[in-house]
Structure 1
């Protein structure tokens, strides 16, 4: 009878029990302090033979990889690691496949591979293991391009300067109970199903409600940790009390044709819902600061005048920066959505065969709202956004790096310089200014366009100040809001321009605009052939790289779009 073979047992062992830092310290002790190899190995707890191989020069002293020699040296891999880190901070991180491709191309260019094929999976696993203290594979959060573009250091610094001035002016630096943040979020009856326990090797399904119209929730919290009850905006014309059945105390609802808030609803929210809670038992002479985004429905002269009469300061966040500067977005709406989706999943399990309608949404959202709006979460939101305690330092440079990809030709060099320190930044700026100074010198030599004979000095036109990053209840902003000036960013046309419109534009509007600001081709602010293009809603401008004058795109030039980092010549200079 054949004897059954015994399965060998796997012996767990550790290939290396020491750290690379310990080996490097032992090597430096031998080389610099003349410590014997045996004593250094015992002192730093590293293998004697391993240390001796590096001292004798048999192995590179900085090579700590497990196994044989790697395709790329440690110095070359470190350059690759730094590049991967910078690209991830810019918002364009590499996947595993892409990292293998660029590593293969790098090895080929350096003559270490015969082809530029991607590196193998074994190389990838070894590379990630060697640099596990600096790199990790994870799922990134999506960031809208507008948010990335607008979150610049200059915008954030200006916001904090204005916020500090406002808090000092109204004596609110030590009054967190009077500093509020207000924001809106949309709700749908469908939800993200949670993980479930199911049969092995199966693909289970989770029943969700159909996606329908959006319901808006307006939330508001203050820096001391209190919250204002939720306010819902449903789509429709006539309010049905059943929509608010079994909701939490203090919750209210309103109707709009779109399901989103508008100017009238926002003002009604402030006057009838927010103010009774914010002023409950408080001195009406004490100013209240409300920080919110600058949506058009939140800004109007009538709303600003009402806020001033109630001693309320309306402070608008910089555009598209709520993901780093708004407490509700940073630490509250995320947990709220998680609790809401969990509540929707529980509702579907408890009510088999039914779906979630808008009559259930307010009840489910109120439960999630109460769970997420804890004092700890609220205070953490104001702390992480630097509002209270007031501190710009909490907004680290890493959060602002993605903006460099939209305003620098070499954003990786800019990020590396910012991470390296002040001297590296100064060197980067010096190299960046050299071609710009040369271009300005050439522009001075050609002060007159050789074809159209127009002056190259273009005056920047004064326009209505943007509300972003400032208090809009100040006298200066209210005055300029009621007396707007034309902007050079474009003219919105809601219908084809008539002869009367063109006559008014030529006689009244264009007389106020300096000649240098008009199109250097048609000499007008609005193109004379605008009526022939009823489908065009926006007049785009572009500045000529040679004569530095503006021209109408698509109307006075055959070019329709001028992209970033591309040159453009007006028809006069191109001829």
Structure 2
């Protein structure tokens, strides 16, 4: 029997049945002083002793439902997140509580937290495991457990045969940087390449995309960086029918932006069939209590992808995003050719982005991503041992292959990308001698590619003396020792992204390139001769040396980049081991 019912019965005995205070207190097992306060009206019958509660019983019930529902979907709520949620409820209603003098105002403390857990034994405080950002730490047991829980969740909501009600949401950042224009300088010299200073700042525009397992999608949602929402909305976002936007200070998807997307963009544009599962990553914006209530009201079930596993479980990452990024790069190049005096800004971003979106948001691309990730149809076996271990295979309709030759005792691995090219021979006019390893380094300030990589000739001391006088430019009669330690070409676009990330994350101890042929005009499937840096190319192989510990992550980065390339069919990746 609840406390309120006990006191109500005791008060009734005293008032209606004329029972004495002492006998009523003994009958109902309560203190006489406490019962006396209820009989005289000094204290409400249902009120507990001590200070008034911070939240009502109904509000606490909703919090418990939120915590338990999110936990079942793989999204744990931390103590600090619970405190902030309580504070938001109190601040919203401008409620005067015992927490009003706390700093910050209305923020609960440990005393309230312990009492909250005591009142609600169905939830408990658990250990929070720090997220592991190394994908190599994932194992079959964790993946099996996630798929088992996910399949049970989908089955419990009768969605196993309803792909149109299973959605995946992802945010993709695109940087807009001022163009540098062209510079003048001496022609046909062996000096360093010319550069022009560029603005250091970059504007990030986030595109929030959402697709379903049947291959459907809703229009993109743009998040523009701006401190205040302008009075006149950016009309260019309507380039794609149904697209819309919001503004945040950073241009990233924060809680309010995600709520705006869910309420004003996602809910109005998806089919009416319910419930709907919305697969998300671990972004803190997805944990918000008000967001959860909004989703529940519309029968939208938020479900978390496996932590640290979105690189192979996110349907977007497998096919859609690779296609989108490549199409965006092509759209940018086309815009620059057609508008040499203009820049891509917030006002025309959506117009340039339109063609990339239309090329990528195809039923085939979207459906393939769900199938390959095992999200729908649910297939745990799509995530093979090779995906989690050191032998990684690219699952792609095109012909990229990984050949592994492993010796257990050897400590270093070399990832070799064969049948590639060196770009820019028409600019640098340097033909490397056979067998000479070229060094691959970051190129800073490239306005066309954030992941640009330059190829450098070795220092003279690192070149065999017998090669010092080899002629590397017949027209200018330049020998190798004259241009040692200077740049001589570029890594192909998109492939450079994968190798760049290996360097940036300190996965690679060395990256080199070996020319496998003589300079020639660009040839299929490589870009046409009239594209930037592709008039003349040199056939070449690229090698990335990593430790066994970093092999899986490095291979994944390289293969992901290759998967986005139109030249994918000719490239072959090999992994060998060194002692």
Query: TM-score normalised by the shorter chain: which range applies?
Result: 0.3 to 0.5
TM value normalised by structure 1: 0.41
**What's the TM-score, normalizing by structure 2?**
0.41
Give the number of the structure whose residues are more often helix, by fraction: 1
Higher strand fraction: Structure 1 or Structure 2?
A: 2
